[in-house]
Structure 1
Amino acid sequence: MTTKSISSPVPDAWYPTLAVFMLAIGLVVTASFFIYEATSSRKNRSLVKELTTAVVASVFLGFGSLFLLLSSGIYV
């Protein structure tokens, strides 16, 4: 029985690029969330839109942070 070495599904050279793009997308979505919260009245807000925007921003910022750590040599 032979053992396989564990390898990343994403090439190491892509880590910095993925970190920049995912963090940028996450920050843009976060900014749009804050703008939506600041410009809409309490009566016109939609909980579904708020949750969807928050989840999308959270996913992109989370994976962006992961790839930033990986690209800097901190393997988590």
Structure 2
Amino acid sequence: MAQSVKPISSPVPDAWYPTLAVLMLAIGLVITASFFIYEATSSRKSRSLAKELTTGAVASVFLGFGSLFLLLSSGVYV
């Protein structure tokens, strides 16, 4: 039974953590900035709830995974 057990390993190589952190955080911040620009420049009547939710969800996913990889690259294993 002990021979069939494999150690848990990351699907992403450890060397990619800093690159993925910077890339995903940068993309998340750009999408967040575009969300704020959209909110500031559009009138109340012309706003789209679907666009706001989609943009917010995509930015949240990128910022969440970027934060995860930032923690992993600094040695905090979550």
TM-score by length of 2: 0.96
Provide structure 2 residue ranges, at least 5 long, that are not aligned to the other structure: none
What number of residue pairs does the alignment pair up? 76
Residue of structure 2 in register with 1:44 after alignment? 46
Q: Which amino acid aligns with 1:20?
A: V
Residue of structure 1 in register with 2:64 after alignment? 62
C-alpha offsets along residues 15-72 of structure 1, whole Å, 9 cap, x if unaligned? 0000000000000000000000000000000000000000000000000000000000
Provide structure 1 residue ranges, at least 5 long, that are not aligned to the other structure: none
Query: In 1, Cα distance between the equivalents of 2:63 and 2:25?
Result: 5
Runs of 4+ in 1 over 6 A off after TM superposition: none
TM-score by length of 1: 0.99
Q: Which amino acid aligns with 2:74?
A: S
Residue of structure 1 in register with 2:29 after alignment? 27
